Amino acid sequence: MATAHDGAGAVLIGAATQAASEPMDAEDVVETIRRFQPDHRAYLTGRDDSTDNARVQLAEFRALMDAVLTPEFIARANDPEQRGTRRAVRRAEVWADQAKNRILRADFSFAEERAISGAMRGQFVAMVFEGEGLRQLARLYPDNAKIADAVAATRQRVAELGSFTEVEQRIASAEAEKAARIRLRPARRTNASLAADFNRAFKASAYTAKEFPGAAILKTNLIETGWTVERNSITGIILSRYQRAHMGIRDAEGTCHAYMVLFEQKATGGGGYGRTYMRSGQHTPMACENI
């Protein structure tokens, strides 16, 4: 069976394969519910399809539970004479209590105030998945007081989150508010030729070509007074020099970004340096009128 970190998709594939090849028992169902978790890596990396995938996984999980949790299956799962019944119930109760505590402790405020969309989506999907897991456990063990308590304690909290669409609207609102607050760092000096060189290096970057094709540079602020030299830690030989700039760009869709970019030149010896290139950068959306 798939490991927990493989995410809900792998768990559902494993459970469905098992269900097709051999009958699932109560322990298998409890384990499938326990492992029904989102792939948090998808949210940390900001994948565009992460929310759509979560919707699909939730529908597939519900379909699998509907297929497995027949009246006959539920009756067997609650028959104390059946092998493994008590063990499965204990595991279900422990997980239900843990899920309840996680849902009740979840706090959206930090991520929402800072418009960290990946964290907001990840938290929301995790709570929805665990809320659905509790609901399915209650179907499996309809007379279990501990599981019923977990469902009752978390029902309102999960309902308050709203739908996938409503959460996306909250994320969009938080991002818009954050974008309105963002400003470029003020320039500490002016140097038209250096700014032009940085603009050229930015446009020549493979990352820019992939992520921001057709982007327009609206402003380049030189936020440092000069170059910082990097030396070999042992020999002291100069390896390169770097300098940052804060750039205002507009992408092809019309969204503006504040882009903190680190530009670098490799040392060529004899006090010389090579062509400027973009070494790294970090961007965040901003209101175009604030550039």
Q: Looking at the structure, tell me whether residues 278 and 158 fall in a common domain.
A: no
- Residue 79: CA count within 13 A, CB half-sphere: 10
Q: Is residue 93 situated within a structural domain?
A: yes
Q: Which domain holds residue 84?
A: 4-180
The pair phi, psi for residue 69, each rounded to 5°, is -85, 70
255: its two tokens: 């969204």
Q: Looking at the structure, tell me whether residues 165 and 245 fall in a common domain.
A: no
Through-space distance between the first and last CA atoms of the chain, rounded to whole angstroms = 52
Q: Looking at the structure, tell me whether residues 72 and 170 fall in a common domain.
A: yes
Please give the chain's pLDDT, 291 residues, in tens: 333 334 555 555 455 555 545 679 999 999 999 999 988 777 766 656 778 889 999 999 999 999 999 999 999 999 999 888 999 999 999 999 999 999 999 887 877 777 788 888 888 899 999 999 999 999 999 999 999 999 999 999 888 888 888 888 888 898 889 899 999 999 999 999 999 999 999 999 999 999 999 999 999 999 999 999 999 999 999 999 999 999 999 999 999 999 999 999 999 999 999 999 999 999 999 999 999
Domain boundary among the residues 123, 151, 180 is at: 180
Q: Looking at the structure, tell me whether residues 209 and 143 fall in a common domain.
A: no
Domain boundary among the residues 180, 211, 226 is at: 180
11: its two tokens: 């768990």
The separation between CA 179 and the C-alpha centre of its own chain, rounded to angstroms, equals 19
CB atoms within 10 A of CB 10: 16
Q: Looking at the structure, tell me whether residues 115 and 144 fall in a common domain.
A: yes
Q: Looking at the structure, tell me whether residues 21 and 162 fall in a common domain.
A: yes
Helix (H) or strand (E) holding 231: strand 228-231
The pair phi, psi for residue 208, each rounded to 5°, is -60, -45
Q: Looking at the structure, tell me whether residues 197 and 89 fall in a common domain.
A: no
Q: Is residue 186 situated within a structural domain?
A: no
In this predicted structure, what is the pLDDT of residue 16? 52
Q: What is the Cα–Cα distance from 34 to 134, expressed in whole angstroms?
A: 9
CB atoms within 10 A of CB 166: 11
Q: Looking at the structure, tell me whether residues 69 and 151 fall in a common domain.
A: yes
In this predicted structure, what is the pLDDT of residue 8? 58
User: Residue written as tokens 């070509």?
Assistant: 209
The separation between CA 152 and the C-alpha centre of its own chain, rounded to angstroms, equals 28
